[in-house]
Amino acid sequence: MKAENIQLGIAPIGWTNDDLPDLGAENSFEQCISEMALAGYTGCEVGNKYPRDVAVLKHKLNLRGMQICNAWFSTFFVDGKREETLAAFIKHRDFLHAMGAKVIGCSEQSRSIQSTTKAVFKDKPIFNDEDWAKMAQGYNELAKLAAEKGMKVCLHHHMGTGIQTPEEVDRYMAAVNDDVYLLFDSGHLYYSEGSQQAMLGVLEKYIDRIIHVHLKDVRDEVVAQVKANDLSFLEGVKKGTFTVPGDGVIDFKPIFDILDQYNYQGWMVVEAEQDPAVANPFEYALKGRQYIRDVAGV
């Protein structure tokens, strides 16, 4: 890959998990960002221990040569919470803009089961035509609000939500305006379909509308347990569904090749939530960084 096109970040969720605060409760914010920098990353997303005072956060990141590239935002358009979602988005947008980020990764969390005890495969929500219309209208509005600050909105397809499968990604992309984009997450697509080809198909199909990339690997044997025992998304996380690139079943070389071929410019963010007591986050950050260096050449 062309090194000048790519910025490499990592998500704090390997150190402290927002969905399961007990995972990594012992890890401090400063330890997290110090280890990210030491492992060779120049950016990160935002976790639950990060200070929200822009001056304080910028200072601590600048000391380590780090910057904020994105932060998760939950939308609830399908649930009919349009006004609340838009008001919260404006605050979130302004914080990220002040931090220098250019993209805002959103997830439609209406009826999501990702934080519940429900079986992630059997009980995922299915949106009807009215739901899709509400979602699309909402995301089109978010794009306009983001554009006011020179930013772009992308949707994070996610296990346990109404936009999880390639077919649901297709429906989302067809429903929204061209100024609404996609966050491509290798792990969530592979997890959903159990297929490298299905995952790559989404990447190739929408490469022109992908503005942020999550590099997440998957352990097939854990996914098999999740399916066989009707486990929840978070039970899978604790058992080790996800890991860093090069440690699971996904071959990332075709991903890097497609991104390079189409001249993708932006962030690639390693995101691999595991139990930090089992998978030392610094060791895994180093492992992921070395793999990307070896395979992508960046």
Domain positions in the chain are 3-296
**Three-state SS at 73:** strand
pTM: 0.97
Per-residue pLDDT of the chain (298 residues; tens, 9 = 90+): 999 999 999 999 999 888 787 878 898 999 999 999 999 999 999 999 999 999 999 999 999 999 999 999 999 999 999 999 999 999 999 999 999 999 999 999 999 999 999 999 999 999 999 999 999 999 999 999 999 999 999 999 999 999 999 999 999 999 999 999 999 999 999 999 999 999 999 999 999 999 999 999 999 999 999 999 999 999 999 999 999 999 999 999 999 999 999 999 999 999 999 999 999 999 999 999 999 999 999 9
- The candidate with the shortest Cα–Cα distance to 266, out of 105, 108, 145, 148, is 105
Strand partners, 7: 267
CA distance 68 to 57: 9
pLDDT of residue 283: 97
CA distance 203 to 211: 11
Label residue 231 exposed, middle or buried (CB < 10 Å: 0-12, 13-18, 19+): buried
What are 69's two structure tokens?
């590239």
Count of positions (residues) in the chain: 298
Q: Which residue has the tokens 């075709």?
A: 254
272 CB-side CA count, 13 A = 30
Per CATH, the number for 3-296 is 3.20.20.150
CA distance 28 to 67: 18
Q: How many CB atoms lie within 10 A of CB 208?
A: 11
- The candidate with the shortest Cα–Cα distance to 191, out of 239, 256, 127, 260, is 239
Q: Which residue has the tokens 């934080």?
A: 115
Q: Which residue has the tokens 């998304």?
A: 233
Q: How far is CA 224 from CA 187, 230, 274, 284, in A?
A: 15, 10, 17, 23
Give a three-class secondary structure readout of 110-154: CCCCCCCCCCCCCCCCCCCHHHHHHHHHHHHHHHHHHHCCCCEEE
Q: How many CB atoms lie within 10 A of CB 29?
A: 17
